[in-house]
Amino acid sequence: MANVSIYLNFMGNADSAFNHYKKVFRTEFSTPIMRMKDAPPRDGAPPLPEADKNKVMHVALPILGGTQIMGTDMLESMGHKLIEGNNFTISLNPDTKAEADRLYKELSEGGTETVPPHDEFWGYWGTCKDRFGIRWMFNVMKQPQ
């Protein structure tokens, strides 16, 4: 079922932050924490520095009223810099690739920092910053086979 989440970016302390939020909201992670080292290597990409391997790639935690917060660590080794304004994203999780494509097309029009939705190892994913400066993520999870 389609849903919306709030996606938070951290500079190396996502693990601590989400363990704190877990206590505050008295809930459990939706899935196990995925670490940077869990991602398959990308062709032509440099190897991940040892210091980044245990950083959080993805974590999800239900909070109140069906809302879920998700998060990741930004990596200085990849040129990421955390500044207010890029520390959160509205994550849209539509039911189909076609709906993800439609949402992306309409929200990215006139926007910047666009990555069109495409297949990744976990599903169909893309992102953009709209013309009003709001960051959006589109994610259709792979279905178990």
More confident residue, 145 or 136: 136
In this structure, are residues 60 and 29 in contact, taking their beta carbons and an 8 Å threshold?
yes
Question: Comparing C-alpha atoms, which of 76, 75, 36 is closest to residue 58?
Answer: 36
pLDDT surpasses 90 at 123: yes
Q: Is 37 helix (H, G, I), strand (E, B) or coil?
A: helix
pLDDT surpasses 80 at 64: no
pLDDT surpasses 80 at 128: yes
Which residues, in sequence order, are bridge partners of residue 69? 6, 61
pLDDT surpasses 90 at 97: yes
pLDDT, tens digit, 9 for 90 and up, residues 46-63: 888 899 899 999 999 998
Q: Is 136 helix (H, G, I), strand (E, B) or coil?
A: strand
pLDDT at 76: 83
Q: What is the mean pLDDT of the chain?
A: 88
pLDDT surpasses 80 at 82: no
CATH 3.40.120.10 for domain 3-38+52-141: no
pLDDT at 13: 86
The CA distance from 8 to 71, in Å, is 4
pLDDT, tens digit, 9 for 90 and up, residues 6-47: 988 888 889 999 998 999 889 999 989 999 999 888 888 788
